[in-house]
Structure 1
């Protein structure tokens, strides 16, 4: 609602919204609350539940998506469990050490970017060193290590997957944390106008593959002119 209020204050009566990661969740919330003015949304991390009715005939892509979800839950979700339970404890440590803040952020770029080359994973295969440092600096200079963690504590108390009826576009990047098939997405989004499974890119798609990302957004929203 705050984004909707901001757009109204800026004088926009009709607009579209795009988001990934937490931006994806905010954008999907706008798809429910801002239907009078938001003409459509595009997301690169759709939040949908795997459809139980498809478990007997999963596609190879769906099988890999479920395997990666299981791996994330077993090995990659420690940060989320900490931030959704005791974020302030972590916040003191992140506010005290720039190296700690950098390590906390860089780990995610290692895990979630499409950064494997010749069998070796390294975040600088996907992003430049300056891009990695710039991202960590947003947290460090603004001292937002704690507040960014509290977002998890505040949001995980009341998760919702309400249906969305407005036009929706989805771009699925192969190294995204949570991926869905079109038939899973259709269980939540009744009006999918664009759905594309990309060949490269990960969780930080706009940084990793900016040209592909921009073309996806344009292709989606071009239909709403």
Structure 2
């Protein structure tokens, strides 16, 4: 059963947030610390003060309720999603999947341009936001992909495309693997390519530089990732009890993963942080880092890749082509990990180009 959903956070939860922010116990900071020890104190105080005194959740809530929200239950888990139908009745449907520490909010600025040509289904990952929390182990990317296949079937879509970044990319390629007869193609804006000593490929100097960056990350696993992969429940206690802790945990990722020329605005970021806080999903969202590393089946459907210059890692095409049927590859000089929020016009046009080509392929099918 699919039911309409309206966002309506209890006022008591907003009052509690205000009181907790006002009672924040701040740590000290060494002189001239900059980013050497983590998120700078002055900047975090600025964000927290704006969250408490300048940010208006109700205004953002009202704007979000202008979208068509729904919930349904799949595999024992509530799934929240936004469903926007194109004015073109025969349009291809796309399922757009966010990652961590994002949410369905990542796609707000691309709904209008993409819905000109496509029906859009934008779910919240299990354990995230209004699809959370989860209550049992095992919600890895393959299980999520199977849930998305059931969701699209429930909505009546026989053939559709999948798009995602971060965990959304992993879910989208897994969806292509579990439902290849349904998925016309997968477009991703994050596709890690690890060094492969057995590949026997001659790579360009720029590709080797990209792999050096990957090697560095593999040798120096980011602290947030190590904690969420190993002990998501432990870090969840701190993040669920302290709004400033949740703010710092997410704001650091936005600060470090975006192109300095295309930052995500404080209002949008605070709405994302508020979504995690008000749904108490810090721990359940972190569990995906614990469960996600399981191997997935190869993705047999056509794949499109958009590489944004300031992403965490940059894909190496010769290595990607060993694993995927690459039909489309774009390189952008602007944008970072949150491309749909940072450079929505570039993101939307690349997604449109890939899936319109897939639509033409569909029309030529016997």
Normalised by the length of structure 1, the TM-score is 0.88
Contact in 2 for aligned 1:25/1:47 (Cα 8 Å): no
What residue is the counterpart of 1:143 in the other structure? 280
SS where residue 328 of structure 2 aligns? strand
Contact in 2 for aligned 1:48/1:188 (Cα 8 Å): no
Cα distance in structure 2, aligned partners of 1:56 and 1:49: 13
What residue is the counterpart of 2:289 in the other structure? 152
Query: Within the alignment, does 1:182 sit opposite 2:327 as a pair?
Result: no
Contact in 2 for aligned 1:95/1:101 (Cα 8 Å): yes
Contact in 2 for aligned 1:177/1:203 (Cα 8 Å): yes
Contact in 1 for aligned 2:201/2:318 (Cα 8 Å): no
SS where residue 306 of structure 2 aligns? strand
Query: 1:38-57 alignment to 2 at 5 Å?
Result: 38-52=183-197, 57=202
Quote the offset at 1:143 in angstroms: 0.6
Give unpaired runs (5+ residues) of structure 1: 118-124
Structure 1 or 2: more strand by fraction: 2
Query: Within the alignment, does 1:223 sit opposite 2:357 as a pair?
Result: yes
Cα distance in structure 2, aligned partners of 1:79 and 1:16: 31
Paired residues, number: 214
User: For structure 1, which segment, 86-95 or 47-56, has the greater mean C-alpha deviation from structure 2 after superposition?
Assistant: 47-56
Instruction: Indicate which of 326, 337, 345 corresponds to 1:211.
Output: 345
Quote the offset at 1:181 in angstroms: 1.9
Cα distance in structure 1, aligned partners of 2:309 and 2:339: 10
Normalised by the length of structure 2, the TM-score is 0.55
User: For structure 1, which segment, 53-62 or 77-86, has the greater mean C-alpha deviation from structure 2 after superposition?
Assistant: 53-62
Closer, same or farther in 2 for the Cα pair 1:7/1:56, shift >3 Å? closer
Quote the offset at 1:178 in angstroms: 2.6
What residue is the counterpart of 1:26 in the other structure? 171
| Deviation digits for residues 61-81 of structure 1 (CA, Å, limit 9, x no counterpart) | 322322322443455611111
Quote the offset at 1:88 in angstroms: 0.5
CA RMSD of aligned residues (A): 1.8
| Deviation digits for residues 142-172 of structure 1 (CA, Å, limit 9, x no counterpart) | 111001111111223x234x43221110001
What residue is the counterpart of 2:269 in the other structure? 132
What residue is the counterpart of 1:122 in the other structure? none
SS where residue 304 of structure 2 aligns? strand
Closer, same or farther in 2 for the Cα pair 1:169/1:200, shift >3 Å? same
> After the TM superposition, which parts of structure 1 deviate over 6 Å for at least 4 consecutive aligned residues?
none
Query: Within the alignment, does 1:199 sit opposite 2:344 as a pair?
Result: no
Contact in 2 for aligned 1:51/1:187 (Cα 8 Å): no
What residue is the counterpart of 1:98 in the other structure? 243
User: For structure 1, which segment, 5-14 or 43-52, has the greater mean C-alpha deviation from structure 2 after superposition?
Assistant: 43-52
